[in-house]
Chains A and B, each alone.
Chain A
Amino acid sequence: MKNLFSDKKTIALLSVPSIAIIGFAILAPLVVSLYFSFMEWSGFGAATFIGMDNYRQLVLHDGTFYRALINTFLLMLVTIFLQNPFAFVIAAILTKLKDATSRFLRTIYFIPATLSLVVVTKLWVSIFNPSYGFLNKLLQGIGFQNMQIAWLSNPKTALGSVIWIMVWQGFGWALLFYYSGLMTVPKELEEAAKVDGANKYQLYTKIIVPYMLPVIQSVIVIDVISSLKQMEMVYLSTEGGPGDLTQFIAVYLYQKAFRYSEYGYGNAISVIFVILAVFLTIFIQRIFRERSAGKKRVGA
């Protein structure tokens, strides 16, 4: 067996399927996308090579692209700095509750994550509807008679409403990760910290959070990726409007390619999009690696 797996031919043979899959499913589309990003092409007929024009237009003149970037980063910040801490706190509380209560609440919190994106989006579009939506009716019911806010159409509330829908659905996943992570923290660690006189704040900040760092890292990477590729919810609720106030990169890319019939431009967005996603993922992993290396050095 050992001889078999040290045989280079066998290794090469066994690597072929995975390399083929990576090549055809990941690298080939990227190369094709890169190729078309240098073209002016409507999707039909011949494509014209235009060099860096698409990138020049995108980087130097396209305000909507930057709006989409800002919105994407805003969503990332909200998920990382608001959704995550909140999910962590709720998960920590759940670990201290009785089993039955905890199980019941976990189920409740996780329900949005089990629903399809279409259902969740349509549900909230209905809730936000200014004419018959539950939210306006509720506000009117508690005394705000003049409340007739078009939550998804009003420039002041549209982005907040869209981000709320995303956070509402994503919360269950973050909670699940943190709850599972917290359940793996050894009781001895907590007890030892208590014996050493640590209070609850110190217990969490000095012991539990550092212990949970790999879980936090995973959740943040997932949040960043899901923020970047956010598409369906925006498409089904506002399609980036009003104007481009709720525009996100993936929706903008799709609209440019399939509505404006500017496939070359859409591909240029997708290339930038991939570079950005790779860069952010590496950046986050490096931050966590350095932190974890620092901790190890301190520990050593």
Chain B
Amino acid sequence: MYRKIGLFALMLILATTVVFAQGAKESGEGETVVLRMGDNIPDRSTGWGAVIEKINKEFIEMHPEVEITTESYQDQAWQEKVKIYATANQLPDVMKYWSFSTLLQPLVDGKFVEPLNMDTFKQYGYMAGSLEGNVYDGELYGIPVSADLWVIYVNKALFEKAGVPLPESWEDIVASVPKFKAQGIIPMVTDGKDGWPLCEMFDNIQQRISGSFQPVADAIDRKARYTDDNFLQTARYIQNLVKAGVFQSDLVTSDYGASRNLFGQERAAMYMMGSWEMGLATDPNFSDSFRENLDVIEFPVVEGGKGNSNDLLAWFGGNYIVNAKSEHKDLALEYLEYYAKVFPAYAWETQATFPAQKVDARENDTIVAKKLLDIAADAKTTSGTPGLDRSTAAFKETHQDLMRRLMSNIITPEAFVAELDAAAEKAAK
């Protein structure tokens, strides 16, 4: 019997050895170098995703021994994945991320991000201030990839169908709600489930009321309070927009893809989102009529408010970073430089997104691209990093959660500003 047990144990050890040896053989035998990448762009066939795939293909042609594997998720899921990977020390070699202090700073502090040479990247035509947004303690940790302008995309055909002119103010939008609804059209959609677009809107409406983006930064830095009148007015104003029926009725459970599709499938007249969605104008997943009628307008003003339409909520959010603990760090850095070199031209050529690097306007640019260039050029003031990304991760989540509550009418504007202020106070300690 002892012999049988011994034999069984031996077989178990052998089987285990074979399994693990097999794994070692697969990873160690070939000469292929696998460069792991990750981003928040799941669609690889069109727009930005297609641009990345093109860059990857060219990089592989230059380095035949390299194989690139990419994993992509939507924003929130990708951010959570990165946190988990970082905790487990398994970050990809190169990845798209965000320069915000809420997201990048913890990775920098944990020494997960490789510092970059500022002089190397300066030569690639980055817009003023964009590289600096990726600097922590005097070191450059990422390259910006997009200039993010907060705008409203409109479907002109649906406006015509409802007999509504393009809006200049939020009051125009509220007045148009019954006309849109009579035609079965949702006036405006955005991604409410993730919450952050609601926070961008909060900052922007606040500016339209008070005339300045500064109170947001001051409230985060505790030089002002979220309970101040401008914020309370903003909260009341936003809740009234919801009550007036401006947004889709399932706003707080409608995610990025769902809201984007409602707009792309011509169910909604307006889509509140950033300039990175300029690729809608060339997205073959949507109809010709949608693409032909797509336009973009500045974030509307609030009647009686001090803000103007050319005060622009704009920032440089998305970036690319290199894993400081990567086994293929040199290759990853080389990839990053190649990306910086070719991305703006490819992105503009396909009108995939609005790059953070200078691009030349072309005759055949889409209307949306031309308008976005105009909006950027006409801006009198810009916001810089939005409020929710200026503080801690916990503040960001609380801000998003509170916006969802406010826009579900389950919290009063007074309670909203009080809780937001408490969150800012806690984050500042």
Contact = CB atoms under 8 A, between A and B. Distances in A.
B403 to A, nearest CB: 11
A296 to B, nearest CB: 40
A296 B260 CA distance: 63
7 tightest A-B contacts by CB? Answer: A242-B408, A44-B110, A261-B393, A150-B250, A150-B249, A153-B250, A243-B405
B244 interface: no
Contacts of B70: none
Nearest to A148: B249
B377 interface: no
Interface in A111-131: 125, 129-131
B109 A4 contact: no
Nearest to A245: B410
Nearest to A239: B193
B311 to A, nearest CB: 31
* Residue among A125, A154, A244, A261 with max Cβ neighbours from chain B (10 Å): A261
Given A153-B251, A261-B83, A242 B405 contact: yes
A43 interface: yes
Nearest to B258: A129
A238 B253 contact: yes
A261 B394 contact: yes
B288 to A, nearest CB: 22
Given A4-B1, A153-B408, A255-B397, 13 more contacts: A43-B83, A44-B86, A45-B106, A45-B109, A131-B186, A132-B267, A155-B408, A155-B410, A239-B193, A258-B80, A258-B84, A260-B398, A261-B393
Contact of B248 (A130, A238, A244, A259): A130
Given A131-B262, A243-B408, A152 B106 contact: no
A56 to B, nearest CB: 15
A243 B248 contact: no
B393 A260 contact: yes
A240 to B, nearest CB: 9
Interface in B378-398: 392-394, 397-398
Contacts of B409: 155
A42 interface: yes
Interface residues of A, number: 35
B291 interface: no
Given A152-B250, A261-B106, A261-B394, A44 B112 contact: yes
Contacts of B186: 131
B252 A242 contact: yes
A242 B404 contact: yes
B87 interface: yes
B166 interface: no
Interface in A277-299: none
A214 B86 CA distance: 46
A94 B310 CA distance: 69
A237 interface: yes
A229 to B, nearest CB: 19
23 contacts: A43-B83, A44-B110, A45-B109, A45-B110, A130-B250, A131-B249, A131-B267, A152-B250, A152-B253, A153-B249, A153-B250, A153-B253, A158-B253, A241-B401, A241-B404, A242-B253, A242-B408, A243-B401, A259-B76, A259-B80, A260-B397, A261-B392, A262-B394
Interface in B17-74: none
Interface in B152-211: 186, 193
Given A131-B267, A242-B404, A260-B397, A44 B107 contact: yes
Interface string A223-262: 0000000000000011101111100000000010011111
Contacts of A153: 249-254, 408
B394 A258 contact: no
B373 to A, nearest CB: 33
A105 to B, nearest CB: 33
Contacts of A26: none
B118 interface: no
Interface string A161-202: 000000000000000000000000000000000000000000
Contacts of A244: 401
Contacts of B254: 153
A155 B252 CA distance: 11
Contacts of A44: 86-87, 106-107, 109-110, 112
Contacts of A149: 249
A85 B193 CA distance: 36
A119 B83 CA distance: 27
B418 interface: no
A241 B394 contact: no
* Residue among A13, A239, A244, A245 with max Cβ neighbours from chain B (10 Å): A239
A1 interface: yes
Contacts of B110: 44-45
B345 interface: no
Contacts of A13: 5
Contacts of A150: 249-251, 253
B411 interface: yes
B250 A129 contact: yes
